[in-house]
Amino acid sequence: MSPKQKCDLVKFMKHYNPKKTVLAVGDGANDVAMITQAHVGVGIAGMEGSQAATAADYSISEFQQLAPLLLFHGRECYRRNAYMITYNFYKNIVYSMPLFCVSWVSGFSGQSIYDMYLLQIYNLAFTCFPIIIFAVYDHEHLKQDLLSKPRFYSDSLKQNFLTWSKYFWAILEAIVHGFLVFELAYWTFALEVA
């Protein structure tokens, strides 16, 4: 096929299946148009040069590395990103819910209940460190299991990791936890004053 025909085929697939993700794999300069047109492009750096690898989203050195890239790294990246999106909404609601509750108690005075140091290190402590720890230590399955049993990949194809029910459950849980943080602090200070 000519480079234009490859590019047109990718365009056709994107147009014909707009809800599907199109992957293009190429190893030479004649594949650059196809790789850049696809949703995800994988370039193989090798005998024909590095033009495809330079233009691609992901670059591998051998074709046999494509299965680990998709079945292991792709699935784990999607799963971890799904959890992190939900976690970020959760932590922000838990942070904001006590402020909302204090506003009702204090007559909407606008007084901040958080110390300035806490405000400055909040994102570092509750965004940066948990994500790093999660990325290093979280492994749902062994790499060999994910490569030998492709049925695990179907969870990401069905988008089972980031669903509306999981999202709303996390929001509800965050509201309850934020309210509990407020109640604990409120009654602790109320008993101290009395």
* pLDDT, tens digit (0-9, with 9 covering 90-100), for 40-92: 899 888 777 778 888 888 888 888 888 787 777 777 778 888 888 898 899 88
Alpha-carbon distance of 122 to 180, in angstroms, equals 19
Rounded-to-5 percentages of helix, strand, coil across the chain = 70, 5, 20
Asked whether the CA dihedral 136, 137, 138, 143 is positive or negative, the reply is positive
pLDDT at 126: 77
pLDDT at 47: 73
Alpha-carbon distance of 107 to 96, in angstroms, equals 17
Whether 176 has a pLDDT exceeding 90, the answer reads yes
pLDDT at 140: 75
Single pTM value for the model = 0.68
Alpha-carbon distance of 147 to 108, in angstroms, equals 56
CATH 3.40.50.1000 is held by the domain 3-61: yes
What are 83-116's pLDDT values in tens digits? 888 988 998 899 889 888 888 887 777 777 777 7
Q: Within its chain, how far is the Cα of 34 from the centroid? A: 26
Q: What is the mean pLDDT of the chain?
A: 82
Domains of the chain by residue range: 3-61, 66-193
Which is more confidently placed, 35 or 152? 35
Whether 171 has a pLDDT exceeding 90, the answer reads yes
pLDDT at 90: 92
Of the pLDDT bands very low, low, confident and very high (cuts 50, 70, 90), residue 192 is low
Of the pLDDT bands very low, low, confident and very high (cuts 50, 70, 90), residue 21 is confident
Whether 138 has a pLDDT exceeding 80, the answer reads no
